[in-house]
């Protein structure tokens, strides 16, 4: 019984100490675009407290507030949508939870989860 408890505690400790990227702060502000398979045509401009995502091809513009939960995790709350698409205003007030899974020199991999998405996406910092 003691061995089982010790094993359980050891495994819990190891999983709780899973390595998180150490350079997430580099991606808290700046201008970003999607890369790789998630090559969505939008451009993201982020300050310390807000984000604007613009898709020039269709005029979509999504404004969000950012709440940083930790160095590598944040919550976007949609505050305004400018769009030619009917119904896109329905996301105002909704949230997306984002975790930075990997961070390199100028690219980072996130996991984004909301009512509309649950996926990993790669972005590159362009400014």
* Per-residue model confidence as pLDDT tens digits over 81-90: 998 666 676 8
The β-bridge relationship of strands 95-103 and 73-82 is antiparallel
> If pLDDT is split at 50, 70 and 90, which confidence band does 2 have?
very low
For the chain, domains (ranges, CATH) are 21-125 (2.40.128.20)
Query: pTM of the full predicted structure?
Result: 0.78
């Amino acid at each position: 019984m003691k061995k089982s408890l010790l094993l359980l505690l050891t495994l819990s400790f190891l999983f709780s100490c899973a390595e998180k990227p150490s350079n997430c702060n580099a991606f808290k502000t700046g201008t970003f675009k999607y890369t790789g398979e998630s090559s969505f045509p939008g451009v993201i401009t982020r300050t310390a407290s807000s984000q604007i995502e613009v898709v020039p091809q269709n005029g979509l513009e999504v404004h969000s507030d950012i709440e940083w939960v930790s160095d590598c995790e944040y919550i976007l709350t949609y505050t305004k949508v400018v769009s030619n698409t009917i119904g896109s205003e329905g996301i105002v007030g909704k949230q997306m939870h984002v975790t930075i899974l990997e961070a390199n020199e100028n690219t980072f991999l996130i996991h984004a989860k909301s009512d509309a998405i649950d996926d990993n996406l790669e972005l590159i910092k362009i400014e």
